[in-house]
Amino acid sequence: MGVFVQRSPAGAVPAAWGKPKRMSPGDVQAERPSIAADGNLAVVGWVTQTSYLHYSPTARRSFWIRVSTDHGATWRAPHRVSPSNGRVDYPRLAVQGHEIFAVWTNANNGAIRFATTNDLGATWSRRTIATTSSTSDGSREGFAGLPDVGVSGTNVALVWFADQKGAQQVALSATGGTDLTSSTPSTTLVGTSPNDGQRYAAAAGSAIPGDPRVAVAFTTQSKVLVRVWDGVTLGPELAVASFPTTAVGVLYAGGYGPAVLPTGSDGLSVAFGACRRRFNVADPCDPTDARTRIDVLSRESPDGGATWGPVRRLTDATKAPYRINDEPSIALTAGTRRIAFDSYETSFVAYVVRMGSLR
């Protein structure tokens, strides 16, 4: 199993994908990919594991990256970021200028690890910024805070699950993250929330030069929420969706796995998995239940969340084989918002990554 990247011209709508290029070495098992880019600098990350067919959740898992300085045309050699004998959960990446930011959980002891490099990965500054007791993926997988990082200019926001009850925390910096340590006070986004490995929080910095905003998106039992950090103030909760709700003619019981991106002068773009009401299903947001039907919805605000436009539905979960659509991500290229997401059914026999483009 390997990690691959594909490129498309920035202005192509829909995206015109080139041939996939393998990032992880051919002699290792790799999954849990992440990607980030700014200008001509791009970085891809993945996690290696000892086996795919005989996967052991207690075996070592290491975090690796590769870097490109020419928009992904060529790539440098793989570089390991975490210890070779450790375990990580799901690392995430961000890029600002020539600096790379990474965050992950040490699955052995619950440390939320934060790392930065300004020389394309040759040297790193690594530190622990918090500790979690969350085991979102099950206790045998180890601790999993499912952290994320967003950066815009010198403003940084890190989000993670703090405990098994689903408390979600954010740590903020206006100095490029240099002041973030384990003693840095964090802010509680929500005290309790579903913590099942699906309802994670997200962070992203603005793609617009000069826009200082970093947005964080998170879910509660009944809402998808956003807050915005501008380097001075963490703004109030902005409700993107409340459940149950009817959108595009469909009744949705809940939502999870949001993605967020500040766009335009004061715009916000949000996407999330939305769970259709299923009266014979205990948890309509459980993607492992073959009876669930989950769509990807998106919504945008032109004025920093004061008002929101209509809900867009990017998928139709009533149509086989892709009954489950979730884990969206958002990027901005040539003025077009790109929303990528997973589409699959519970046995993973049918599985594809798809993308919608919004202008």
Q: Are 359 and 336 in contact (CB under 8 A)?
A: yes
In a domain, 232, yes or no: no
Based on its alpha-carbon atoms, the radius of gyration of the chain, rounded to whole angstroms, reads 19
Q: Give residue 211's pLDDT.
A: 96
In a domain, 74, yes or no: yes
In a domain, 231, yes or no: no
In a domain, 223, yes or no: no
- Let me know whether 171 and 36 are in one domain: yes
Give percent of the chain with pLDDT exceeding 70.
100
pLDDT of residue 321 exceeding 90, the answer is yes
- Let me know whether 139 and 267 are in one domain: no
Using CB atoms within 10 Å of the CB of residue 21, give its burial: 0 to 12 exposed, 13 to 18 middle, 19+ buried.
middle
Q: Give residue 349's pLDDT.
A: 84
> Half-sphere exposure (CA, 13 Å, Cβ side) for 203?
34
> In this predicted model, what pLDDT tens digit does every residue of 198-246 receive, in sequence order?
899 999 999 898 999 999 999 999 999 999 999 999 999 999 999 999 9
> In this predicted model, what pLDDT tens digit does every residue of 291-314 receive, in sequence order?
999 999 999 999 999 999 999 999
- Let me know whether 151 and 290 are in one domain: no
In a domain, 119, yes or no: yes
Stated pTM of the model = 0.96
Q: Give the CATH number of the domain where residue 98 resides.
A: 2.120.10.10
- Let me know whether 187 and 258 are in one domain: no
pLDDT band per the 50, 70, 90 thresholds, residue 118: very high
- Let me know whether 287 and 354 are in one domain: yes
Q: Are 289 and 343 in contact (CB under 8 A)?
A: no
Domain end, chosen from 197, 229, 260, is at 197
In a domain, 345, yes or no: yes
Q: Are 127 and 70 in contact (CB under 8 A)?
A: no
- Which of 115, 110, 116 is CA-nearest to residue 130? 110
- Let me know whether 93 and 175 are in one domain: yes
- Let me know whether 317 and 183 are in one domain: no
Q: What is the 3-state secondary structure (H, E, C) of the chain?
A: CCCEECCCCCCCCCCCCCCCEECCCCCCEEEEEEEEEECCEEEEEEEEECCCCCCCCCCCEEEEEEEECCCCCCCCCCEECCCCCCCECCCEEEEECCEEEEEEEECCCCEEEEEEECCCCCCCEEEEEEECCCECCCHHHCCECCCEEEEECCEEEEEEECCCCCCEEEEEECCCCCCCCCCCCCEEEECCCCCCCCCCCEEEECCCCCCCCEEEEEECCCEEEEEEECCCCECCCEEEEECCEEECCEEEEEEEEEEEEEECCCEEEEEEEEEECCCCCCCCCCCCCCCCCEEEEEEEECCCCCCCCCCEECCCCCCCCCCEEEEEEEEEECCEEEEEEEEECCCCCCEEEEEEEEC
Q: Give the CATH number of the domain where residue 295 resides.
A: 2.115.10.20
Q: Give residue 246's pLDDT.
A: 97
In a domain, 236, yes or no: no
> Half-sphere exposure (CA, 13 Å, Cβ side) for 273?
26
Neighbours of 333 (CB within 10 A): 17
- Let me know whether 276 and 189 are in one domain: no
Region 323-335 average pLDDT: 95
- Let me know whether 155 and 103 are in one domain: yes
pLDDT of residue 265 exceeding 90, the answer is no
Give percent of the chain with pLDDT exceeding 90.
92
Region 159-166 average pLDDT: 96
Region 96-121 average pLDDT: 97
Mean pLDDT of the chain: 95
- Let me know whether 60 and 161 are in one domain: yes
pLDDT of residue 264 exceeding 90, the answer is no
Higher pLDDT among residues 359 and 271, named by residue: 271
pLDDT band per the 50, 70, 90 thresholds, residue 13: very high
Domain end, chosen from 145, 174, 197, is at 197
> In this predicted model, what pLDDT tens digit does every residue of 54-95 receive, in sequence order?
999 999 999 999 999 999 999 999 999 999 999 999 999 999
What does the longest C-alpha to C-alpha distance in the chain come to? 54
pLDDT of residue 347 exceeding 90, the answer is no
Q: Give residue 214's pLDDT.
A: 98
In which domain, by residue range, is 121 found? 1-197
- Distance, CA of 112 to CA of 103 (rounded, Å): 7
Q: Are 252 and 274 in contact (CB under 8 A)?
A: yes
Look at the block and give the residue holding tokens 């492992």.
Answer: 288
Q: What are phi and psi of 280, to 5 degrees?
A: -105, 15
- Distance, CA of 274 to CA of 219 (rounded, Å): 11
Q: Give residue 16's pLDDT.
A: 95
- Let me know whether 69 and 187 are in one domain: yes
In a domain, 219, yes or no: no
Region 244-256 average pLDDT: 97
Q: Give residue 198's pLDDT.
A: 86
- Let me know whether 56 and 119 are in one domain: yes
Q: What are phi and psi of 140, to 5 degrees?
A: -70, -25
Q: State the total domains in the chain.
A: 2
Q: Give residue 100's pLDDT.
A: 98
Q: Give residue 62's pLDDT.
A: 97
pLDDT of residue 348 exceeding 90, the answer is no
pLDDT band per the 50, 70, 90 thresholds, residue 137: confident
Q: Give residue 116's pLDDT.
A: 98
